Amino acid sequence: MLFLLGIVISFYYLNKSAIKIDDKTFVSLLMEKSNAHQSSKEDSIFKNIVLDFINHYQNPASLLVSNYTNNTTKTKKTAAIKDSKKKEDPPLDPLIYIYNSHQTEQYKPSDFLEFSINPTVMMADYILEDIFLKNNLKSIVEEGNIEDILNKNNWKYASSYKASRSLMEQAKITYPTLEYFIDVHRDSLSRDKTTIELNGKSYAKTIFLIGLENPNYQKNLEFTTKINNKLDEKYPGLSKGIYQKGGEGVNGVYNQDFSPTTILIEIGGEENTTTEVLNSTLAFAECFMEVIKTNEG
């Protein structure tokens, strides 16, 4: 319960201070304060905490500094958020590249609606980055703006994969150590088709997409299958499997010709909550790391 209060207070303070709460800042606080074991029941408690807090407290900053933190270093993260627009130096030799061909796909905003937070698929990017780093795997999240590239080239939305391809190519030139490429999306199906309960926790279902127009798609399929099999083993029912897509009217490649270890994963849908996306992203990260550690020997 206290970690929920910590999240509430932090976001309220940031919002009142007119500090932009973007996906990266949001995940930074979420990962710091959450033990990733909150249940769906706690989601319903969350909104009541938010409303009670706003109704009864006028100085959330003082509470953040004193009552709801654990040690004297607890406020450093919040103080540093004011400088969050300063881009951190990426690792010199990253192994994993995380990006979104469709950066603006959003999840359900109601959990944090009071703070004008509309989490996008980039939320999952930063969760992955955080987990990989804690497991000694260096990664970078692509923050180049797809929409800007589309507008600059007078391309339509359907050219999003062409836009993300340009960013991938530049990243590979800048960081030749990159070997794994993860394109994170979300589905557009209704909640009943994108949600599952496992061991008392609610998850956003995942699905992998393989383009059949890639002449080397078999290698991508083999790599993706290893990850999907791990998910099936550890989290039965979480993955909806691997959707192989090709033919007239579809992209059919999805930049997977760029590398045999390029994958496209959809995590949940537009009606899934941030908690569900967090749970599923952690599950995917666990399985992904097991696979690539085997690949890396």
23-27, 44-48, 55-59 — which is least confidently predicted?
Answer: 55-59
How many whole angstroms separate alpha carbon 55 and alpha carbon 143?
Answer: 37
Q: What is the mean pLDDT of residues 270-281?
A: 90
Find which of 17-21, 72-76, 258-262 is predicted with most confidence, using mean pLDDT: 258-262
pLDDT value, residue 24? 60
pLDDT value, residue 76? 35
Give the chain's domains with CATH numbers. 1-82 (no CATH), 87-296 (3.40.630.40)
The two tokens of residue 62 are: 């003082």
Q: How would DSSP label each residue in 182-200?
A: EEEEEE-S-HHHHEEEETT
Q: Which residues contact 65 (CB under 8 A, 6 or more apart)?
A: 75
